[in-house]
Amino acid sequence: MADPMRIRANVVGDSTEVKVLMSHEMETGQRKDAQGKTVPAWFIQSVTATYNGKTVLSAQWGPAVAKNPFLSFKFKGGAKGEKVQVTWTDNRGEKRTDEATIS
């Protein structure tokens, strides 16, 4: 199973700033291993962030997003103590959801 994400969500003025680190190889499908065999592509394809059940960001990614992806964005509102949820899905169909408390 994939490792948990690290999500930080902080109130900045009247917005909430969300910073996410995801544990993922993000294999491009172009790299060759030590034996010279091409390593198949393996990467996160979609990311969705929600707050109070409402989508605050959704994204589609290709394999050129860097390994162990980082993402930062801001949405209006958000109160301390409430939760932000982030879900990613990769091209193998693996899915991971984590949440963070806004502080």
Quick one: 11 or 75, whose CB is closer to other proteins?
75
CB 86 → other proteins: shortest distance, Å? Answer: 13
Strands in 44-51's sheet, in edge-to-edge order, are: 44-51, 83-90, 95-101
SS3 1: coil
Quick one: 64 or 81, whose CB is closer to other proteins?
64
CB 33 → other proteins: shortest distance, Å? Answer: 8
CB 85 → other proteins: shortest distance, Å? Answer: 15
Contact in structure between 42 and 30 (CB atoms under 8 Å): no
Binding residues vs other proteins (CB under 8 A):
3-4, 6, 15, 19, 21, 23, 25-28, 30, 39, 45-46, 54-77, 91
The DSSP letter of residue 26 is -
Nearest to 80 by CA among 19, 6, 16, 35: 16
